[in-house]
A and B are shown apart, each in its own frame.
Chain A
Amino acid sequence: MIVFDQVSFGYAGAERLVLRDVDVVVPEGELVLVAGPTGAGKSTLLGAVNGSVPHATGGRLAGRVLVDGLDTRTHPPRDLAHVVGWVGQDPAASFVTGSVEEELAYVMEQLAVPPAVMRTRVEQTLDLLGIADLRQRPVQALSGGQQQRVAIGAVLTAGPRVLVLDEPTSALDPGAAEEVLGALLRLVHDLGVTVLVAEHRLERVVEYADRVLSVRPDGTVSSAEPAVAMVDAPVAPPVVELGRLAGWAPLPLSVRSARRLAPSLRASLPAAPHPPVPRHAPQSAADTSAEPPTPRVRARRVVVRHGATVAVRAVDLDVAAGETVAVMGRNGAGKSSLLWALAGASAPSAGSVSVSGESLGTSAEAVRRRLVGLVPQTATDLLYLDSVADECAQADAEAGAPAGTCATVLHQVLGVVDPSSHPRDLSAGQQLALVLAVQLTAAPPVVLLDEPTRGLDYTAKRALVRVLQRLAADGHAVVVASHDVELVAQVADRVVVMADGEIVADGPTAEVMTSASTLAPQVAKVLGADWLTVDAVAAALAPELAEVPRG
């Protein structure tokens, strides 16, 4: 269906080839996962399938790409619209029209499909993707998962043989991601569409894939069965890492197949697994004083309203110094609003927030910054200068810190980065680190991160985990709002689950995360509630098995 014939590609003006001698054939009807670290060229590979690489991006393409027999050199994307459906990373930015129904019809209007056929195809697609009840709704008012399904429907109505999706679930909460994946699987099974998916969150997709295309940083691409590809893949989901650790062959790709192999591993694990280590050591506090320590952050009856919508409904939250709290919940459950209220950046409609005994409501911006640092969801909103060095200098000036503070923090967080590089040219992980460094320059005792793992690959995520662990060890109170159960399992001491603006669960990570299957990390699903992360299992097995080099 798709043939890459000795394809090499480099962007104009760049020395490096993004794709090098790619020689891959994708047979019809397969679900293909495109995996690889950030910046390796996954998006470029996908773009080459519908011809937007090189027709829209520019650059030099050597070799040829055939899709259903059509050569992309002579067919720009618009002439492939009836063969390849391409869905970009941000569905909200891809919408042309106002309502769901018109969005679905748009491609057919361009292809001059007869009106009667259009009507029936729109209805079929609405049913196929489960969005019939949304037909009249304005596209911008939909939730993330709904928007993603509408974006898929908007290319599907043209009746393409190939569907190409660039990170369709990375911005979604687990439930919405499952809706989207379910819809994709139905397309593969019912319509026989060939699907190419690029995804960082391999744990969500790899078990369904028929084939994995691994894009390496040097631009080469290899194609293999998932179980084979995962053996030495630089990025792998936790269940695969667990399988590698335990030496299972063939590697399990799904929780279900791992569970069937698990009894032997479970037997070899210590009988009484050590409980999740509370890093802030409440025991010592209990020993030294009868009084419980004053929490670093104390939020009381916090209410946040946006017009008629109540985003946060009378929430109480305490966070101790050295404690990491994860806030979880669906999109729109009020996580972001709570974080912004904790940062004092948006005055809560009611209630109070204090940090180290100082009320945030009355303090000025500069003072608040010294108390709380928030890294917002779109971290790049904070960056506006032309180089990393300028951003750091500006951050020092704003925070009133001695010159060089921000650069030092950045070095601790990120390691070496060229200070003259433009912030926009950094990878998502580096940008996040830069914003974190800017916010840490004022040395706030409280650090809040809103959905930090968006767009991060496993390597960047691991770096983030290390940074968060170090912040907590230094005595910071850390609050992370995240959908990413694996990240939460690794960093959080406590998990708070929000729904509809209220806290519905609050407790130690292990207890909360294993209470609901959507919140449980893969390792817990395989080995039971006592084990949350591969690291914990590895540590427990250390005497018996040498630590497997990872990453």
Chain B
Amino acid sequence: MSTLLLPRTLHPLAWWAWALGLAAAAAQTTNPLLLLALVGVVGCVVLARRGDAPYARAFRWYLLAGLLVVVIRVVFRLLLGGGGVGSAGDPVLLPLPGVDLQWPGAPTLLGPLTSSALLASVSEGLRLATMLVCVGAANALADPRRLLKSMPPALHEVGAAAVVAVSVLPQLAESTARVRAARRLRGGGGGRRNRLRAVVVPVLEDAVDRSLALAASMDARGYGRRAAVPSHIRTLVAGLLMGGLIGLLVGVYALLDTSTPRWLGLPMLAAGVAAAVGGLTLAGRRVERTRYRPDRWAPPEICAVLAGVVVAVTFLVTSDVAPLVTAPVVSPPSWPTLSLLPLLGLLAALAPALLTPPPPGSVPHRLGPPLVRARVPA
């Protein structure tokens, strides 16, 4: 047990599986108590298991974004509410006059805000916010670079492009800051357009130079080497990938659109997935590449994934057997109730806070000031 919990970073896909499980659970319910409990669980695990990298510090922005979602939801309900929800007996919180637009099918603007309408909009906003926070947690816990590294070999090219994009963005920000500082040296003058150009042109030139340097470096370091592949295999791979994509599209469409025949749905989806997986596996063979210290699936990873699955399943089952727990009555407003099953699920979701290894100790990031700052005292 002790060796399993030595500090290391968990497989990024494990964190994503866990977080998506929680998001799926959140999607099942509008019970504010359950949703707040989910947010609490997510927050606990993030605090316990995030590292000190920049992406880990972004979690609070997701929390803020979640809050914003709730507020926006309420504001929209206020503007477009039109008194649709709520029985006659509902207490009216804000007696606003309704504005009827004069064309057919148009919603009524404003209108009295009832307490049940408010409760419904808060619950729905909270559900969306919780799902957002779950995704934020995955982003804070899983290193995006390592995630891209765990792509299947056939998608290596896409992964490499994404890695480059991830590192280019901060560099763009850096050179923009540098050029703007330099621009100030030259003094004002020129119109807005000229000023914009004075920043954009050098930044883009810088970006192009960097990209060329990076391409040269990657080329010199063997990027894009590939084994010889017979042409019929290449055709087969292309066919399988195309077919898989079409299958996926048709399958998803059929699942969502109830008017299409049932046999088009799941079977098409399954066939599409199978074809795509086959294509990717075959394509992977033509790339000869190894991985340095790949992320491995060990018991803690399994534990995190299971936690995600368990919480999603308990919420799903609860919504089936006790719909009043997952979707409390809002009209008239009632105090939401809880049951044992989703609480057990929440407990399981909390497990990764203890049963996964902690992130490696914080490494001092630099000794001197970073180069950016040495160049741009802004």
Q: In the assembled complex, which residues on chain B have CB atoms less than 8 Å from the CB atom of A88?
A: 213, 216-217
- The answer, yes or no, to whether A380 is at the interface (CB within 8 Å) is yes
In contact, A377 and B375 (Cβ under 8 angstroms): yes
In contact, A118 and B290 (Cβ under 8 angstroms): yes
Q: In the assembled complex, which residues on chain B have CB atoms less than 8 Å from the CB atom of A381?
A: 178-179, 182-183, 202
Min C-beta distance of B365 to chain A, whole Å: 5
Min C-beta distance of A165 to chain B, whole Å: 12
In contact, B373 and A311 (Cβ under 8 angstroms): yes
Min C-beta distance of B286 to chain A, whole Å: 12
In contact, B370 and A141 (Cβ under 8 angstroms): yes
- The answer, yes or no, to whether A92 is at the interface (CB within 8 Å) is yes
In contact, A52 and B220 (Cβ under 8 angstroms): yes
Q: In the assembled complex, which residues on chain A have CB atoms less than 8 Å from the CB atom of B213?
A: 88-90, 93-94
Min C-beta distance of A162 to chain B, whole Å: 12
Assuming the contacts A311-B377, A394-B190, asked whether A332 and B368 have C-beta atoms less than 8 A apart, the reply is yes
Interface membership of chain A positions 111-138, coded 1 if the CB is closer than 8 angstroms to chain B and 0 otherwise: 1111100110010000000000000111
**Measured CA separation A458–B190 after assembly (Å):** 37
**Measured CA separation A184–B189 after assembly (Å):** 49
In contact, B225 and A340 (Cβ under 8 angstroms): no
In contact, A158 and B185 (Cβ under 8 angstroms): no
**Chain B residue at smallest Cβ distance from A340:** B377
- The answer, yes or no, to whether B164 is at the interface (CB within 8 Å) is yes
Min C-beta distance of B30 to chain A, whole Å: 40
**Measured CA separation A341–B185 after assembly (Å):** 11
**Chain A residue at smallest Cβ distance from B221:** A107
In contact, B370 and A140 (Cβ under 8 angstroms): yes
Q: Which B residues from 186 to 242 make CB contacts under 8 A with A?
A: 186-190, 194, 197-199, 201-202, 205, 209-210, 213-225
Q: In the assembled complex, which residues on chain B have CB atoms less than 8 Å from the CB atom of A55?
A: 219
**Measured CA separation A341–B194 after assembly (Å):** 26
Assuming the contacts A112-B288, A341-B377, asked whether A306 and B369 have C-beta atoms less than 8 A apart, the reply is yes
Interface membership of chain B positions 313-355, coded 1 if the CB is closer than 8 angstroms to chain A and 0 otherwise: 0000000000000000000000000000000000000000000
Q: In the assembled complex, which residues on chain A have CB atoms less than 8 Å from the CB atom of B205?
A: 380, 424
- The answer, yes or no, to whether B289 is at the interface (CB within 8 Å) is yes
Interface membership of chain A positions 60-93, coded 1 if the CB is closer than 8 angstroms to chain B and 0 otherwise: 0000000000000000111111101110111011
In contact, B190 and A109 (Cβ under 8 angstroms): no
- The answer, yes or no, to whether A388 is at the interface (CB within 8 Å) is no
Interface membership of chain B positions 262-294, coded 1 if the CB is closer than 8 angstroms to chain A and 0 otherwise: 000000000000000000000000001111111
Q: In the assembled complex, which residues on chain A have CB atoms less than 8 Å from the CB atom of B255?
A: none
- The answer, yes or no, to whether B256 is at the interface (CB within 8 Å) is no
- The answer, yes or no, to whether B371 is at the interface (CB within 8 Å) is yes
Among candidates B184, B197, B222, B369, residue contacting A110 with C-beta atoms closer than 8 Å: B222
- The answer, yes or no, to whether A419 is at the interface (CB within 8 Å) is no
Q: In the assembled complex, which residues on chain A have CB atoms less than 8 Å from the CB atom of B374?
A: 311, 331-332, 336-337
Assuming the contacts A115-B292, A309-B373, A397-B189, asked whether A107 and B216 have C-beta atoms less than 8 A apart, the reply is no
Among candidates A78, A102, A365, A398, residue contacting B223 with C-beta atoms closer than 8 Å: A78
Q: In the assembled complex, which residues on chain B have CB atoms less than 8 Å from the CB atom of A158?
A: 221-222
In contact, A141 and B221 (Cβ under 8 angstroms): no
Q: In the assembled complex, which residues on chain B have CB atoms less than 8 Å from the CB atom of A77?
A: 216, 219-220
Tally chain A residues at the interface, Cβ within 8 Å: 87
**Measured CA separation A112–B185 after assembly (Å):** 50
**Measured CA separation A86–B145 after assembly (Å):** 25
Min C-beta distance of A452 to chain B, whole Å: 14
- The answer, yes or no, to whether B163 is at the interface (CB within 8 Å) is yes
Q: In the assembled complex, which residues on chain A have CB atoms less than 8 Å from the CB atom of B370?
A: 140-141
Among candidates A81, A109, A138, residue contacting B220 with C-beta atoms closer than 8 Å: A81
Min C-beta distance of A81 to chain B, whole Å: 3
In contact, B222 and A114 (Cβ under 8 angstroms): no
In contact, A78 and B185 (Cβ under 8 angstroms): no
Min C-beta distance of B293 to chain A, whole Å: 7
In contact, A105 and B292 (Cβ under 8 angstroms): yes
- The answer, yes or no, to whether A191 is at the interface (CB within 8 Å) is no
**Chain A residue at smallest Cβ distance from B291:** A109
In contact, B145 and A97 (Cβ under 8 angstroms): yes
Q: In the assembled complex, which residues on chain A have CB atoms less than 8 Å from the CB atom of B225?
A: 78-79, 81, 110-111
- The answer, yes or no, to whether B71 is at the interface (CB within 8 Å) is no
Interface membership of chain A positions 366-390, coded 1 if the CB is closer than 8 angstroms to chain B and 0 otherwise: 1011000110111011111000000
- The answer, yes or no, to whether B160 is at the interface (CB within 8 Å) is yes
Q: In the assembled complex, which residues on chain A have CB atoms less than 8 Å from the CB atom of B199?
A: 384
**Chain B residue at smallest Cβ distance from A104:** B292
Min C-beta distance of A326 to chain B, whole Å: 18
In contact, A398 and B189 (Cβ under 8 angstroms): yes
In contact, A93 and B209 (Cβ under 8 angstroms): yes
In contact, A311 and B369 (Cβ under 8 angstroms): yes
In contact, B365 and A138 (Cβ under 8 angstroms): yes
In contact, B290 and A399 (Cβ under 8 angstroms): no
- The answer, yes or no, to whether A108 is at the interface (CB within 8 Å) is yes
- The answer, yes or no, to whether A269 is at the interface (CB within 8 Å) is no
Interface membership of chain A positions 388-404, coded 1 if the CB is closer than 8 angstroms to chain B and 0 otherwise: 00000011011100000
Among candidates A52, A105, A343, residue contacting B216 with C-beta atoms closer than 8 Å: A52
Q: In the assembled complex, which residues on chain A have CB atoms less than 8 Å from the CB atom of B371?
A: 92, 140, 143-144, 331-332
- The answer, yes or no, to whether B79 is at the interface (CB within 8 Å) is no
- The answer, yes or no, to whether B245 is at the interface (CB within 8 Å) is no
- The answer, yes or no, to whether A304 is at the interface (CB within 8 Å) is yes
In contact, A384 and B377 (Cβ under 8 angstroms): no
Min C-beta distance of A115 to chain B, whole Å: 6
Among candidates A89, A343, A384, residue contacting B201 with C-beta atoms closer than 8 Å: A384
In contact, B217 and A141 (Cβ under 8 angstroms): no
Q: In the assembled complex, which residues on chain A have CB atoms less than 8 Å from the CB atom of B209?
A: 93
Assuming the contacts A158-B222, A337-B377, asked whether A369 and B186 have C-beta atoms less than 8 A apart, the reply is yes
**Chain B residue at smallest Cβ distance from A381:** B182
**Measured CA separation A118–B197 after assembly (Å):** 47
**Chain B residue at smallest Cβ distance from A93:** B213
- The answer, yes or no, to whether B167 is at the interface (CB within 8 Å) is yes
- The answer, yes or no, to whether B363 is at the interface (CB within 8 Å) is yes
Q: In the assembled complex, which residues on chain A have CB atoms less than 8 Å from the CB atom of B294?
A: 115
Q: Which B residues from 106 to 164 make CB contacts under 8 A with A?
A: 143, 145, 160, 163-164
Min C-beta distance of B157 to chain A, whole Å: 12
Q: In the assembled complex, which residues on chain A have CB atoms less than 8 Å from the CB atom of B92?
A: none
Min C-beta distance of A484 to chain B, whole Å: 17
Q: In the assembled complex, which residues on chain B have CB atoms less than 8 Å from the CB atom of A95?
A: 167, 214, 217
In contact, B368 and A118 (Cβ under 8 angstroms): no
**Measured CA separation A393–B331 after assembly (Å):** 72
- The answer, yes or no, to whether A496 is at the interface (CB within 8 Å) is no
Interface membership of chain A positions 37-70, coded 1 if the CB is closer than 8 angstroms to chain B and 0 otherwise: 0000000000000101001100000000000000
**Measured CA separation A346–B363 after assembly (Å):** 31
- The answer, yes or no, to whether A182 is at the interface (CB within 8 Å) is no
**Measured CA separation A180–B300 after assembly (Å):** 42
In contact, B182 and A378 (Cβ under 8 angstroms): yes
- The answer, yes or no, to whether A442 is at the interface (CB within 8 Å) is yes
**Measured CA separation A94–B213 after assembly (Å):** 6
Min C-beta distance of B155 to chain A, whole Å: 15
- The answer, yes or no, to whether A282 is at the interface (CB within 8 Å) is no
**Measured CA separation A380–B206 after assembly (Å):** 9
8 sampled A-B residue pairs with Cβ under 8 A:
A101-B292, A119-B293, A143-B371, A331-B374, A332-B369, A343-B185, A382-B185, A383-B202
- Can you list the 7 inter-chain pairs with the closest CB atoms, starting with the nearest? A81-B222, A105-B292, A94-B217, A110-B222, A398-B189, A381-B182, A332-B368
List 6 other contacts, CB 8 Å, given A98-B167, A398-B187: A78-B225, A96-B160, A112-B290, A115-B294, A140-B371, A382-B202
- Which residues of B approach A to under 8 Å, CB–CB? 143, 145, 160, 163-164, 167, 170, 178-179, 181-190, 194, 197-199, 201-202, 205, 209-210, 213-225, 288-294, 360, 363, 365-371, 373-375, 377-378
